[in-house]
Amino acid sequence: MPIEVNGVSYETDENGYLVNLDDWNEDVAVKLAEGEGVEMSENEWQIVNFLRKYYDEYQIAPAVKVLTKAIAKENGMDKKEASEFLYGMFPKGPALQACKIAGLPKPTGCV
């Protein structure tokens, strides 16, 4: 089902993930976030940008454990604090929701 942003149609799969990763831009991210009930603030952008950099480097979206550990380290938190931080922003699952908003494929291992 496509989404429309600024008069341009972007193809998504049956789960709402972008079909073409090159279609992603910040306006598309905001539209995807709206569909997830997520308001994009500085913290959400931090996660989205981290995910995009990770994907560029490894060609795979990180599992939630990897994401939590990296965010904990980056923000000087323990893993529990980082998990609460992530789930506070992305309550349906940080890896699933944040990867969708970042224009990345669904992370492997996520149901």
Q: How far is CA 61 from CA 32, 37, 48, 54, 89, in A?
A: 17, 21, 11, 7, 18
* Active-site annotation holds for 110: yes
Neighbouring residues of 27: CB distance < 8 A, sequence distance ≥ 6: 5, 6
> Residue 23 has what DSSP assignment?
G
For residue 33, is pLDDT > 80?
A: yes
pTM for the whole structure: 0.91
Residue 62's pLDDT is: 85
For residue 107, is pLDDT > 80?
A: no
The active-site residue out of 31, 40, 110, 111 is 110
Average pLDDT taken over every residue of the chain: 93
